[in-house]
Structure 1
Amino acid sequence: MEKALDEQMKSSKFLTSVDNSQTRRCYYTSIPRVIKQKGIHGQELTSLNIDKTQLLESLLIKDYGGSEDVLLGELQFAFIAFLMGQSLEGFLQWKALVNLLFGCIEAPFRTRTQLFTKVIYYQLKFGLEKDHTDTSGAATGVSALLDDSWLSADSFLHHLCKDFFSLMLDASSVDGHLLSWTRKLKELLENKLGWEFQLNSAVDGIYFEEDDKFAPVVEMLDDPSCN
Structure 2
Amino acid sequence: MDSEKALELVKHGATLLFLDVPQYTLVGIDTQIFAVGPAFKGIKMIPPGIHFVFYSSSTRDGREFSPTIGFFVDVAPSQVIVRKWNQQDEWLTKVSEEEEERYSQAVRSLEFDKNLGPYNLKQYGEWRHLSNYITKDVVEKFEPVGGEITVTYESAILKGGPKTAMEIALDTQMKKSKFTTSSTEQPKGNRFYYTSIPRIIKHKGMSGQELTSMNLDKVSPLT
TM-score by length of 2: 0.29
Bigger helix share: 1
TM-score by length of 1: 0.28
- Which structure has the bigger radius of gyration? 2
Bigger strand share: 2
